[in-house]
């Protein structure tokens, strides 16, 4: 089939011409699958027509002639032959088509056989006709094809993103597409028929002339050209010579592509690449870059300086060999993961320096994405030398570990030392406790030994005297009885003094502090001291004039002076001098600062000094210790100085020893000054007449010990007092709460049920002016605090001499000067 729009050759006309030429009744053109054309027999069937056409081969230069179809074996049976149409003569010739194919068959038919066939002219005429048909058709077809081609070409050139034009030898534009015309700011109509010189302008044309000449000489010329108006646009241009049939260049095709955008992009790219390189080179780090697949194609100078590798040798995967084998695998693993996921790459690894030393490096890389597609365009990476940091970090970590270890070690050592110390302290405490116990046992041994000795001596005196008295009484010899009684009494009083000393040492001695004139007290002791010291020791008493009064227990002071005198005597076995001095003293801050527990202020000082053996510093240091003695057992108790110390402290005073070995000793006793008046009272009652009751005064005696109660009661009765006795506190209280005269209560402190002190407290409600004499053993001292009593109340300590007791009672019942 001819292409659509191309006219068919006139097959009908050809068939008519053939019938005229051959003088037959019929002629037709047969083509498979097409209606017959021309004046054909009216009843010719399609199959008969095909059979008749088949008599002709495809290519023939002369017609096939069958003079009588009835005699031809391939046609005799056809209905067109022996049927009503009764066709007999036949001539056929193929109609050639394009490409050697047969377009159809031209048949000439007649009812009468024709023995002579066709004439030569008829045969040649048919051939011409057949070929004529095809030529016409070919021409038609060709023309139509040319038009299509031209239209196609036009469309293509218009659609092409290119500038297309054709110049003839005179440089006149024969053809130009829209792009070409528009490039020069012209209409396509204006371009065609114009000279190139007119289109591009004089100056521009002059510049192109050599290129045009080369192209017209047969050379394809390519070049990049700015727009003639220098408006920033650029084209890539090609002059393509086109040769005619004579092989000479007939035309020039002008082909151009607008490359402005590419050029700009290229320039931008070149610019950014330039910048990148500038930055990369200026960085202190090693910088590298790879293609999207990880192919390393760039390293900055820093990299080559560090690695010492020749330029280009680490491209691709060459870098991996410079990594420390310890990190190679991991670096690869991470790099591959980043390449596949696009995640940034970061790793610390050791990189071999040019000198073979591995240094720690921080490797980092990030991908650069195409802004439109998002695909990774490149990877940019850096390597930073962090060796110093890593080592510092390691040192730090090591340092910390070491420090921790050291601390742990120290802590353990400390804990161990602590445990050891604790154990030592415990051991020490145990030893001290044991020592203490041993010392206590030794002290108790010494004490009991000394006391037993003293008591035995005293008891010997008492018992011996009583024995003598009894013997004399039995014999009826009553002379000298008073002397023996006196001896017994003296021994008993010494025994009492001994217990006092014990109590004073225990500081449980109840004190009866009162304003005391020390000068008077010392003077009153003169006789006693002389007797105690014996003849070999000279006594000197130096009393100060204007001596202040002091507040203390005079009995204790007397006791203390006596003890000091005895010590002095003991230190002077071969005799010497004992001096007792009194003086006013002021202890200032400087003195006080060097002594513990002493208050600055005014004191009365009693100094007892001797010319005896003296004390070594060690003995001085221990002399006040209870039981410390340098004397043999039975001679010293070690309680004398201890008692004096206790007395001084209890009186808010102070005592100090000054001594030199072989020179002598001075003991200074300081007692606080008293600003009030001295109480005039007999210090010792011994030898004085016992005062008697005069006005029937009543004394209540509360005492649980029946013997003591009876003794006291008898003594008081003997003295002329009326006596009421009570065995315990509640009984005593009942009597006190009942009406009746009671001038004085003599009560033991240690009473069962209600102690003496509390009994009196309760009784005071009914009898506020009650006078009371307390009898105390040392244990009850606590009931009186530090020993200061309310007015009208006094105290006497067991054991006591009856005359002293009587004197006290008398003084209380009838106060005032005696």
Residues that bind ligand ADP (CB under 6 A): 567-568, 571, 610, 612-615, 619, 623, 628-631, 636-642, 665
Identify whether the C-beta of residue 266 lies closer than 8 Å to the C-beta of residue 281.
no
Instruction: State in angstroms the smallest separation of the CB of 449 from ligand ADP.
Output: 12
User: Between residues 550 and 642, which has the closer beta carbon with respect to Mg ion?
Assistant: 642
Q: Where are the beta strands (DSSP E) in 97-218?
A: 102-110, 163-168, 173-176
Instruction: State in angstroms the smallest separation of the CB of 603 from ligand ADP.
Output: 21
* Cα 82 to the center of its chain, rounded Å: 124
The interface partner of residue 638, options being Mg ion, ligand ADP, none and the CB cut-off 5 to 8 Å by kind, is ligand ADP
- CB-CB neighbours of 448 under 10 Å: 11
User: Between residues 251 and 570, which has the closer beta carbon with respect to ligand ADP?
Assistant: 570
Instruction: State in angstroms the smallest separation of the CB of 638 from ligand ADP.
Output: 4
User: Between residues 312 and 449, which has the closer beta carbon with respect to ligand ADP?
Assistant: 449
As a residue count, the chain comes to: 818
Radius of gyration over every alpha carbon of the chain, rounded to an integer in angstroms: 80
Instruction: State in angstroms the smallest separation of the CB of 423 from ligand ADP.
Output: 38
User: Between residues 364 and 453, which has the closer beta carbon with respect to ligand ADP?
Assistant: 453
Identify whether the C-beta of residue 757 lies closer than 8 Å to the C-beta of residue 782.
no
Instruction: State in angstroms the smallest separation of the CB of 543 from ligand ADP.
Output: 21
Q: How far apart are CA 799 and CA 792, in angstroms?
A: 22
User: Between residues 640 and 729, which has the closer beta carbon with respect to Mg ion?
Assistant: 640
Q: Is 567 in the site for Mg ion (CB under 5 A)?
A: yes
User: Between residues 198 and 498, which has the closer beta carbon with respect to Mg ion?
Assistant: 498
Q: How far apart are CA 206 and CA 614, in angstroms?
A: 146
Residue ranges in 248-363 assigned as alpha helix (H): 260-282, 301-307, 325-341
The mark string for 638-677 relative to Mg ion (x by CB under 5 A, - otherwise) is --x-------------------------------------
Instruction: State in angstroms the smallest separation of the CB of 443 from Mg ion.
Output: 16
The interface partner of residue 502, options being ligand ADP, Mg ion, none and the CB cut-off 5 to 8 Å by kind, is none
* Cα angle, residue 451 at apex, residues 447 and 457 outer, rounded to 5°: 155
The interface partner of residue 612, options being Mg ion, ligand ADP, none and the CB cut-off 5 to 8 Å by kind, is ligand ADP
Spatial CA neighbour of 94 closest among 137, 55, 60: 60
Part in contact with Mg ion (CB under 5 A); list of ranges 321-329, 389-397, 632-640, 695-703: 632-640
User: Between residues 175 and 505, which has the closer beta carbon with respect to Mg ion?
Assistant: 505
Instruction: State in angstroms the smallest separation of the CB of 500 from ligand ADP.
Output: 14
**Within positions 164 to 223, which residues make up the interface with Mg ion, using CB under 5 A?**
none
Q: How far apart are CA 772 and CA 739, in angstroms?
A: 17
Identify whether the C-beta of residue 199 lies closer than 8 Å to the C-beta of residue 191.
yes
- Burial code of 209-238, b = ≥16 C-beta within 10 A, e = fewer? eebbeebbeeeebeeebebbeeeebbbbbb
Tokens at 584, concatenated: 């006013």
> Can you state the angle between helices 11-22 and 120-159, rounded to 10 degrees?
170
User: Between residues 510 and 612, which has the closer beta carbon with respect to ligand ADP?
Assistant: 612
Tokens at 53, concatenated: 């056409």
Q: What is the largest CA-CA distance in the chain?
A: 234
| Nearest residue to ligand ADP on Cβ basis | 640
User: Between residues 38 and 664, which has the closer beta carbon with respect to ligand ADP?
Assistant: 664
The interface partner of residue 799, options being ligand ADP, Mg ion, none and the CB cut-off 5 to 8 Å by kind, is none
Q: Are strands 744-748 and 722-726 parallel, antiparallel or unpaired?
A: unpaired
Q: How far apart are CA 194 and CA 173, in angstroms?
A: 6
Instruction: State in angstroms the smallest separation of the CB of 554 from ligand ADP.
Output: 20
* Cα 460 to the center of its chain, rounded Å: 87
The interface partner of residue 732, options being ligand ADP, Mg ion, none and the CB cut-off 5 to 8 Å by kind, is none
Instruction: State in angstroms the smallest separation of the CB of 745 from Mg ion.
Output: 39
The interface partner of residue 229, options being ligand ADP, Mg ion, none and the CB cut-off 5 to 8 Å by kind, is none
- CB-CB neighbours of 322 under 10 Å: 22
The interface partner of residue 110, options being ligand ADP, Mg ion, none and the CB cut-off 5 to 8 Å by kind, is none
* Cα 112 to the center of its chain, rounded Å: 129
Q: Is 626 in the site for Mg ion (CB under 5 A)?
A: no
Instruction: State in angstroms the smallest separation of the CB of 615 from ligand ADP.
Output: 5
Q: How far apart are CA 161 and CA 773, in angstroms?
A: 145
- CB-CB neighbours of 289 under 10 Å: 19
Spatial CA neighbour of 65 closest among 86, 90, 48: 90
The interface partner of residue 537, options being Mg ion, ligand ADP, none and the CB cut-off 5 to 8 Å by kind, is none
Instruction: State in angstroms the smallest separation of the CB of 636 from ligand ADP.
Output: 3
User: Between residues 643 and 742, which has the closer beta carbon with respect to ligand ADP?
Assistant: 643
User: Between residues 632 and 740, which has the closer beta carbon with respect to ligand ADP?
Assistant: 632
Task: List residues binding Mg ion (CB under 5 A).
Answer: 567, 640
């Amino acid at each position: 089939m001819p292409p659509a729009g191309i006219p068919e050759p006139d097959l009908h006309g050809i068939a008519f011409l053939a019938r005229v030429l051959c003088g037959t009744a019929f002629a037709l053109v047969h083509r498979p699958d097409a209606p017959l054309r021309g004046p054909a027999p009216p009843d010719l069937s399609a199959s008969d027509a095909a059979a008749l056409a088949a008599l002709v081969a495809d290519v023939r230069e002369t017609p096939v002639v069958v003079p009588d179809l009835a005699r031809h074996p391939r046609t005799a049976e056809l209905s067109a032959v022996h049927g009503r149409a009764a066709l007999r003569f036949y001539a056929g010739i193929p109609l050639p088509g394009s490409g050697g194919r047969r377009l159809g068959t031209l048949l000439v038919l007649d009812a009468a056989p024709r023995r002579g066939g066709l004439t030569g002219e008829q045969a040649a005429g048919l051939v011409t006709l057949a070929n004529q048909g095809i030529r016409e058709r070919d021409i038609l077809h060709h023309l139509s094809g040319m038009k299509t081609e031209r239209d196609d070409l036009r469309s293509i050139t218009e659609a092409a993103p290119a500038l297309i034009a054709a110049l003839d030898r005179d440089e006149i534009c024969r053809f130009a597409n829209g792009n070409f015309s528009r490039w020069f700011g012209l209409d396509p109509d204006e371009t065609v028929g114009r000279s190139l010189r007119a289109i591009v302008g004089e100056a521009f044309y002059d510049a192109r002339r050599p290129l045009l000449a080369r192209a017209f000489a047969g050379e394809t010329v390519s070049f990049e050209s700015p727009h003639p108006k220098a408006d920033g646009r650029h084209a890539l241009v090609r002059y393509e010579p086109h040769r005619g049939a004579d092989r000479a260049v007939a035309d020039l095709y002008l082909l151009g592509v607008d490359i402005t955008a590419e050029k700009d992009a290229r320039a931008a790219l070149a610019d950014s690449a330039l910048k990148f390189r500038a930055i990369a080179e200026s960085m202190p780090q090693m910088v590298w870059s790879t293609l999207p697949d990880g192919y390393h194609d760039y390293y900055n100078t820093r990299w080559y300086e560090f690695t010492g590798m020749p330029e280009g040798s680490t491209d691709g995967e060459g870098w991996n060999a410079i990594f420390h084998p310890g990190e190679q695998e991991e670096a690869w693993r991470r790099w591959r993961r980043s390449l596949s996921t696009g995640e940034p790459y970061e790793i610390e690894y050791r990189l071999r320096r040019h000198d073979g030393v591995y240094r720690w490096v921080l490797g980092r890389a990030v991908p650069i994405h195409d802004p439109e597609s998002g695909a990774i365009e490149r990877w940019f990476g850096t390597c930073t030398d962090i060796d110093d940091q890593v080592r510092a970090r390691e040192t730090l970590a090591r340092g910390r570990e070491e420090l921790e270890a050291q601390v742990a070690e120290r802590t353990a050592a400390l804990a161990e030392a602590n445990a050891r110390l604790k154990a030592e302290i415990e051991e020490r405490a145990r030893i001290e406790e044991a020592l203490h116990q041993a010392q206590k046992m030794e002290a108790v041994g010494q004490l009991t030994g000394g006391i037993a000795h003293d008591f035995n001596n005293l008891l010997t005196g008492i018992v011996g005297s009583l024995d003598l008295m009894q013997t004399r009484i039995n014999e009826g010899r009553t002379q000298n009885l008073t002397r023996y009684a006196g001896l017994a009494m003296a021994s008993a009083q010494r025994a009492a003094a001994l217990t006092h000393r014990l109590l004073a040492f225990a500081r449980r001695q109840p004190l009866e502090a009162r304003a005391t004139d020390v000068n008077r007290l010392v003077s009153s002791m003169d006789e006693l001291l002389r007797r105690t010291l014996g003849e070999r020791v000279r006594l000197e008493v130096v009393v100060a004039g204007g001596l202040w009064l002091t507040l203390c227990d005079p009995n204790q002071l007397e006791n203390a002076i006596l003890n000091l005198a005895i010590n002095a005597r003991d230190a002077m076995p071969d005799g010497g001098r004992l001096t007792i001095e009194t003086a006013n003293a002021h202890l200032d801050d400087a003195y006080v600062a060097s002594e513990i527990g002493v208050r600055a202020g005014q004191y009365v000082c009693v100094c007892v000094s001797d010319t005896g053996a003296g004390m070594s510093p060690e003995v001085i240091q221990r002399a006040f210790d209870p039981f410390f003695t340098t004397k043999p057992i039975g001679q010293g108790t070690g309680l004398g100085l201890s008692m004096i110390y206790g007395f001084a402290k209890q009186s808010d005073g102070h005592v100090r020893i000054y001594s030199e070995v072989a020179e002598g000793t001075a003991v200074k006793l300081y007692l606080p000054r008293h600003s009030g008046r001295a109480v005039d009272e007999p210090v010792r009652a011994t030898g004085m007449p016992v005062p008697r009751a005069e006005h029937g005064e009543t004394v209540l005696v509360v005492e649980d010990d029946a013997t003591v109660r009876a003794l006291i009661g008898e003594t008081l009765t003997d003295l002329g007092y009326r006596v009421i006795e009570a065995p315990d506190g509640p009984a005593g209280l009942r009597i006190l709460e009942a009406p009746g005269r009671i001038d004085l209560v003599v009560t033991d402190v240690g009473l069962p049920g209600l102690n003496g002190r509390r009994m009196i407290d309760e009784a005071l409600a009914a009898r506020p002016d009650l006078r009371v004499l307390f009898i105390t053993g040392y244990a009850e001292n606590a009931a009186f605090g530090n020993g200061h009593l309310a007015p009208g109340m006094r105290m006497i300590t067991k054991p006591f001499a009856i005359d002293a007791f009587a004197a006290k009672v008398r003084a209380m019942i009838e106060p005032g000067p005696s």
